[in-house]
Amino acid sequence: MLQMSRSKLRKAHRSVAVFSVAVLMFTAISGFLLQHAEDFGWQHQTIEQGWLLDIYDVKEAQPTVYQVVNQSEAYAVQLGHQWYINTQAIAAEDKLKGAVLLHSLWVMVGERNLYLYTESLELVEVIALDLDGTVQAVGLLGDALILKTHTSTYQADASLISFAKINVSSDAVAFSRAATLPDKYATQLPRRVSDIHYLKVLQDLHGGRLFGLPHWVIPDLTALAMLFLSISGLMMRSKRIIP
């Protein structure tokens, strides 16, 4: 009976030890990656893998599309958090309201900011808009940029820094209007776009939430395993178990 008890205890001790080592390695590696997530830029990179999108139940996105004024073959697109010109992703953080090509600048307009890009779509400047509300439409009146809110219409100066209220008929302005993205572009864009960053995935992985577990499960199981290993180790070394 004593020999059987010793054998069972050793098997349990060994099994729990293997589990504990696996959990500790997992926790240590994920914790290390979390500690250095900023070094890898994971707080800015969003997930794209299909299996991760499935885990977070990311649905197919419906694009918001505007025809670019002064460029009939160009479309400004927003899919989730991401903006595009046709199929080229561009940097922005806002709700898209339209776009114009003004001289050599792509001018993309969000509800509260103006985004200026070079001809190669590199971000040049973000201009915060101080208007009497959020932007609802953007267009051109000749070579002048026009922004429209719920209550007012504004004309930008040549530097696109200052905006003055004007009274002008909407028919006189060439507005960037909602459009349907041609299939040749639509088929090249991702169907699902997420604003979930890899940093959140690491946090959920480290805490076990990625597996559908409450955040306390892994720490509690680890603590119980360490407690069991301590007690079983002492028991196996005691004179009652080992002659």
Backbone angles phi, psi at 109, to 5 degrees: -125, 130
pTM of the model: 0.68
Question: Is pLDDT above 80 for 240?
Answer: no
Q: Give me the pLDDT at residue 20, please.
A: 84
Q: Give me the pLDDT at residue 26, please.
A: 85
Q: What six digits make up the tokens of 5?
A: 């008890």
Looking at residue 79, which CATH number applies to its domain?
A: 2.130.10.10
Residues 70 and 48 in one domain: no
Nearest to 99 by CA among 62, 73, 81: 73
Residues 46 and 128 in one domain: no
Q: Give me the pLDDT at residue 239, please.
A: 52
Burial 134-156, CB ≥16 within 10 A → b, else e = ebebbbbbeebbbbbbeeebbbb
Residues 78 and 174 in one domain: yes
228 inside domain: yes
Residues 27 and 105 in one domain: no
Mind listing the pLDDT tens digit for each residue in 109-141? 999 999 999 999 999 999 999 999 999 999 999
Residues 180 and 210 in one domain: no
Question: Is pLDDT above 80 for 81?
Answer: yes
242 inside domain: no
Q: How confident is the model at residue 2 (pLDDT cuts 50, 70, 90)?
A: very low
Domain that holds residue 103: 64-186
Residues 32 and 143 in one domain: no
Residues 85 and 168 in one domain: yes
Mind listing the pLDDT tens digit for each residue in 21-71? 888 888 888 889 888 888 888 888 888 888 888 888 888 888 999 999 999
Instruction: Report the interhelical angle of 2-35 vs 217-237 (nearest 10°).
Output: 140
Q: Give me the pLDDT at residue 108, please.
A: 95
Q: How confident is the model at residue 1 (pLDDT cuts 50, 70, 90)?
A: very low
Q: Give me the pLDDT at residue 230, please.
A: 84
CB 123 within 8 A of CB 91: yes
Residues 127 and 227 in one domain: no
Q: How confident is the model at residue 183 (pLDDT cuts 50, 70, 90)?
A: very high
Count of domains in the chain?
A: 2
